[in-house]
Amino acid sequence: MKNTLKTLYKKDKLTMITAYDALFAKIFDNIADIILVGDSLNMSFLGESDTLNATVDQMIYHTRAVCNGAKKAYIVCDMPFGSYVTPEKGLENAVRIYKETKADAVKLEGGAEKAEHVKLLTDNAIAVVGHIGLMPQFSRSEGGYIVKGKDEDSRKRLLEDAKAIEEAGAVMLVIEGVKEDVAREITESVNIPTIGIGAGRYTTGQVLVWSDMLGFFEEFKPKFVRRYLNGAELVRDAVKKYAEDVKNGKFPGEEEIY
């Protein structure tokens, strides 16, 4: 049975993982409660240096793939940078995502200043997941990936942002790169599930980027990532073995010939 907000709201620990294609989405389905088609795909899948030049077309393409692979998970599609510069533009693009994919919700980055956007989408029957704290779409304007909630001003701002997004109708809230005590306070002050990444132990759920947690993205490992697999190493070894077998005339073998 397909995960819905109703079934997810009953759980007290939610697991979210990203996926960008049908193959991995099918493997993660039935294990993770929620699959996020994150605009992080622009970095790990496309190899760009940040998420800023991801497009709506790109997000739709990958979300269709994920929806084809995952039948149970609740699926969230990121709205890319520039696709919600006004509430109206956000609605137009979110409607496209809803019409051209089977995503259950869209996610957008921002706090109180995005409340209007969240409300307009919500009023038009689109479920919205918020994203506050360290917001990768702000990496260029802020000059890097900066952990939030380290001082009183930042703490207050985050709490206000979370409240504003909840009141505007968001169904869930991703909290990224925030001090644990502040993420905990946010989680205790809102009535929607919070999903943390680099936000400590007390959010309702956790999210990790699949290529980070499975060890396929080797360039760097942020502190909050736990590597559950040495994916790149395993794949490299397997492909080496294949190349050796071809060179040595061991592949194809007797059983692999018509």
Tell the smallest beta-carbon distance from residue 218 to Na ion (Å): 20
**90 touches ligand KIV (CB under 6 A):** no
Give alpha helix (H) positions in 29-147.
41-44, 56-69, 87-100, 115-123, 139-142
Q: How long, in residues, is the chain?
A: 258
196 binds, among ligand KIV, Na ion, none (CB under 5 to 8 A by kind): none
The helix, strand and coil proportions of the chain, stated in percent and rounded to the nearest 5, come to 45, 15, 40
Q: How many CA within 13 A on the CB side of residue 45?
A: 19
What residues are annotated to the active site?
Answer: 176
Question: Could you say which of Na ion, ligand KIV, none residue 18 binds, taking C-beta under 5 to 8 angstroms by partner kind?
Answer: ligand KIV
Interacting residue with ligand KIV among 209, 211, 214, 231 (CB under 6 A) = 209
Closer of 168 and 174 to ligand KIV (Cβ): 174
In the block, tokens 């269709």 appear at 64
Interface segment toward ligand KIV; rule CB under 6 A; list 37-45, 92-100, 153-161, 250-258: 37-45
Q: Where are the beta strands (DSSP E) in the chain?
A: 14-18, 34-37, 74-78, 105-109, 128-133, 172-176, 194-197, 205-208
38 near ligand KIV (CB under 6 A): yes
| Residue number with CB closer to ligand KIV (36 or 192) | 36
Q: Which is nearer to Na ion, 78 or 161 (CB)?
A: 78
Which residues of this chain interact with ligand KIV, rule CB under 6 A? Answer: 18, 36, 38-40, 78, 174, 176, 197, 207, 209
